[in-house]
Every structure is written in structure tokens, then in C-alpha cells.
């Protein structure tokens, strides 16, 4: 359930960032220094020509759906929702490491909105691993 809620929150943040990039919302609410706009407008705000925020919004939506299905009573002890979540979460963790490297090391900047996603996907990785351990023991 925590994975579903975290995915919903981070998905909404990613959607907000994407909407800002395509001009559907006004100014980007961020802390002083303009780190959010700088990071979002950099080459690390895009991956293979696709907006990273859009990738995040779609990815978190998929995580939300699978995690929500996994909370249903008839699936709570099934391995496949956990396996599917693992297949989505671990590549996202690697992608996040790449983005955080770009943000902190290359750009020497900080985007609080981006940090929400980094914390969420890290939490999801921990939780999906703990759930796997529960399933293996059971």
C-alpha cells in the first residue's frame, strides 16, 4: 500500500513538472536559486528526446496500478505483483542514480521536486525487497 501511495504522490509531482515543461502551468514553484528550472531545462531533463518528468509520470502510474492490484486480498500472497514491481523499480533506481549524478555532480544544483522522486523510488526499492523476503518465507 505504501508503494501505491508513494507512487501516486510522485506521479503527481512528475506530472506537474511535465505540465510546466510544456507550458500548461505558470512559473515553477521552487526554492530560491532557480535549481528546479535549471535542472529541468538541462540535458538531464531529457532522455532520448523524451521529457524525464513524463517518463516519471508514466512510470509512477504503472507502479501505482501494479501496487494497488498487489494489495487486493486475492493477490497479497502471490509473487507476480512483487516480481513485476521489481522489474519496474530497480531500473528506475538506476535511472535515478544517473539523474542525481547529473543534478549534483555535473550541474552542481538541487531540485526539491526531483528529490521527492528519488526518495520515493528508494523507499519503493526497500519495500519491494522486504515484501519479496516475506513472500519467500511464506
**Domain 2-137: homologous superfamily in CATH:** VKOR domain (1.20.1440.130)
Would you tell me how many other CB atoms lie within 10 Å of the CB of residue 113? 21
State the Cα–Cα distance between residues 4 and 63, nearest whole angstrom. 7
Q: Which residues pair with 51 in a beta bridge?
A: 46
3-state secondary structure labels for all residues of the chain: CHHHHHHHHHHHHHHHHHHHHCCCCCCCCCCCCCHHHHHHHCHHHEECCEEHHHHHHHHHHHHHHHHHHHCCHHHCCCCHHHHHHHHHHHHHHHHHHHHHHHHHHHCCCCCHHHHHHHHHHHHHHHHHHHHHHHHHHC
- Would you list the domain boundaries of the chain? 2-137
Per-residue pLDDT tens listing for the chain (138 residues): 999 999 999 999 999 999 999 999 888 777 656 688 889 889 999 999 999 999 999 999 999 999 999 999 999 899 999 999 999 999 999 999 999 999 999 999 988 889 999 999 999 999 999 999 999 987
Q: What is the pLDDT of residue 32?
A: 59
Would you tell me how many other CB atoms lie within 10 Å of the CB of residue 8? 17
Q: What is the pLDDT of residue 105?
A: 94
The pTM of the full predicted model, rounded to 2 decimals, is 0.91
Amino acid at each position: 500500500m505504501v508503494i501505491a501511495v508513494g507512487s501516486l504522490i510522485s506521479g503527481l509531482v512528475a506530472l506537474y513538472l511535465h505540465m510546466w515543461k510544456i507550458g500548461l502551468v505558470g512559473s515553477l514553484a521552487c526554492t530560491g536559486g532557480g535549481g528546479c528550472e535549471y535542472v529541468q531545462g538541462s540535458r538531464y531533463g531529457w532522455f532520448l528526446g523524451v521529457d524525464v518528468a513524463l517518463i516519471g509520470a508514466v512510470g509512477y502510474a504503472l507502479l501505482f496500478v501494479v501496487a494497488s492490484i498487489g494489495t487486493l486480498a486475492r493477490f497479497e500472497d502471490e509473487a507476480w505483483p512483487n516480481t513485476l514491481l521489481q522489474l519496474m523499480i530497480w531500473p528506475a533506481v538506476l535511472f535515478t542514480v544517473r539523474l542525481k549524478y547529473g543534478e549534483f555532480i555535473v550541474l552542481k544544483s538541487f531540485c526539491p521536486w526531483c528529490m521527492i522522486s528519488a526518495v520515493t523510488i528508494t523507499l519503493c526499492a526497500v519495500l519491494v525487497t522486504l515484501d519479496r523476503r516475506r513472500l519467500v518465507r511464506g
